[in-house]
Amino acid sequence: MWKVVVESKNQEQIRHLVFVDGINGRIRLHFDMVETSLRRKVYDNYNNPALGLPGYGPVRVEGGAATGVRDVDLAYEYMGDFYYFFKNNFNRDSYDGRGAELVATVRYCESYDDCPYDNDFWSSTKRQIVLGDGTVTDDCVGHELGHAVTDYTAGLCYFMQSGAINESYSDIWGEFIDLTNGKGNDSSSYRWYLFEDDKYGASRNMANPNIFEQPQRMTDYYYYCGIGDNGGVHINSGVGNKAAYLITDGGYFNGYSVRGLGLTKAAQIYYETLTHLLVSGSDYLDLYHALYQACMNLIGRFGITQNDCENVRYATLATEMNRTSTYCVYPKAPICDVGEPVDIFYDDVEGKEYWKLTPVTMLVLPKYLYSSEYARSGKYSLYGENLDVLSDFAISMKKGVSLPVGSALYFHFEHAYDFESEGSTMYDGGIVEYSIDGGRTWYDAGPMIINNGYDGVIYTGAGNPLSGRYAYTGTSFGFTSSRLNISSLAGRNVKFRFRIGNDEAYADDGWYIDNVRIYMCQVKIVDLTGYWVSVKQTCGRTSRCTIKGKFVVQNTGTSNSSAFKIRFYLSNDTIFSSDDLFLKEYSIKSLKSNTSKAISFNVKLTSGLNAAMRHVIAVVDADNVVNETNENNNLLPSVPFL
């Protein structure tokens, strides 16, 4: 009896155990040793719009024989390539990580006027990919199922920059699958082209997005600024695509020389970024930081090194992800001009519910207060819907916040808005209001806004309750942030609310608000010092003298310290010098702001040595490794021994 293990040389996860009769060569036992949840199902709509979704069939299911219909069999095959790429590289079981069935409809048409259909998409409601006639390629199938992976991980909102990153990720997965499955045209002249095997021809190039009028950096002429195509998701994805090309293959671009990491490392970094670091409202600046952090997270795995991470940083600098687009994105409001925030109130909209929907001048209220579709941190944001009926409502604080006196005070929030407008006519919008009497009276906080204030006036001819008022109107082109100086409210108990006014017809998306905070700005400093509680010497008639002491080290600053050391010396006077006798050393890992730590020590002196009339000097931060505001209070002598 012969025992044979059959494995695949390519990415397919094949491992069969076969027992062959050693005399007659017959197979006595055969079974699959791979635990897999791969399940595929393909429908065929024959270019008939009446069939809908999922359509006619299924015409081929997992393990079924080839049908002879090119689009059907290619969809089946390429869904397998997608599955094994994610399984083999990331141990991800289908797009949801839980073995979801892979479903495709081929030769789909939306209408008789648009048939044959020359597009493809992922349907999150039907949980399947939909493919037009002749568009079934490996990178296309990988691209559309890549959207499914994004849905089940970061959930990048398909709008503005987060949507462009969503689209770029699908391009990346599609091309990575294309370059590793050994199928199609992967010659150097076609490398980094997308959908090159499609009957309609290639439509993107990741190495040079400009070929198809996509931007390859944030200040590129081709960077799209508008609300069409969900804010240019299929255009501005070029920035992300160029970065992926540079990280993988390397090259010189925009003043930066990037050494490529290769596809394996690049794939791991992009997967780590998508699954652990991005959220639904992430933008290119977030991706700039996240790609580098993902690389740092993976150092020591998959052969990734610190030098690799530096090249990731060069790629994102070359594509200017750290810069704001020249054409349309609002610059974000700083939190503090100097120092760091000390929060009085902070809500990332992920836990305790601090807000409620309240009617203002009309009783109509939207159904929802929160959204899980578009957020800057975590999963949720506050959501003020742009209704298509006459309405005036607010997202209001449930409880007021008492503001201290003596420091500058600020109110800061991140937000994205898309209110109904047409050209320069702004039909709907939102304003920020505050109350200092428990919510009985409300005042417009517009005059307090010092960064990214109102940007339009609401039209007076459509009945909007905020007609003629300055407000946030039109679109913010994704998430931005605004800051108010509320120092004039010091000593008061204050409530804030986000008020939305809608006219009687039509609507766009609305107002998303996240990471709301009230705070002071404080310059964080460290100041280490200390004082003696006690110190004494005891000497026996025949034994050596012993010094016992208790010293308290303090951090009187407003910031936690890093690690430092304290050394104790015996000195003839109160001035520390290199001739003083070393006694003891202690290591402090960190000392929090405005806290102290007591240190007790016991040291036996050498035979014949007496500390009478001498001092013990404590040297705080003995190696001078902590940056302090006052370096002159680190030498603390004790009283002399009697």
Alpha-carbon distance of 137 to 500, in angstroms, equals 46
Cα distance between residue 619 and residue 613, in whole Å: 19
pLDDT for 642: 80
**528-637 maps to CATH 2.60.40.10:** yes
How far apart, in Å, are the Cα atoms of 570 and each of 539, 540, 640, 641? 16, 19, 10, 11
Mean pLDDT to the nearest integer, 223-250: 95
Distance, CA of 633 to CA of 481 (rounded, Å):
42
pLDDT beyond 80 at 24? no
Q: Which CATH class is domain 156-329?
A: mainly alpha
Lowest-confidence pick of 152-156, 169-173, 201-205, 451-455: 201-205
Tokens of 421: 């407008």
Which position has the higher pLDDT, 351 or 469? 469
pLDDT confidence of 236, banded at 50, 70, 90?
Answer: very high
pLDDT at 237: 98
Contact 585, 622 (CB under 8 A): yes
Catalytic residue among 144, 175, 272, 320: 144
- pLDDT exceeds cutoff 80 at 282: yes
Task: Given the residues 234, 412, 415, 615, select the one marked as catalytic.
Answer: 234
What would the pLDDT profile of 394-407 be if each residue is shown by its tens digit? 999 999 999 999 88
Fold of 37-152: Elastase; domain 1 (3.10.170)
CB–CB of 537/544 below 8 Å? no
On whether the CB atoms of residues 540 and 586 are closer than 8 A, the answer is: no
Are 428 and 419 within 8 A, CB to CB?
yes
pLDDT score of 12 more than 50? no
234 is an active site residue:
yes
User: Average pLDDT, whole number, for the chain?
Assistant: 93
pLDDT of residue 329: 67
Q: Which of 524, 413, 548, 419 is nearest to 471 (CA)?
A: 419
Residue 516 has a pLDDT of 98
Check whether domain 340-522 has CATH 2.60.120.260, yes or no = yes
Q: Give the separation between CA 236 and CA 284, rounded to whole angstroms.
A: 10
Closest by Cα among 627, 533, 638 to 576: 638
pLDDT-based confidence at residue 351 (cuts at 50, 70, 90):
confident
User: What is the pTM (predicted TM-score) of this model?
Assistant: 0.78
pLDDT at residue 173 is higher than 90: yes
Say if residue 543's pLDDT is above 60.
yes
pLDDT at 11: 42
What are the residue boundaries of the structural domains of the chain, listed by start? 2-32, 37-152, 156-329, 340-522, 528-637
Assess whether pLDDT exceeds 60 at residue 238: yes
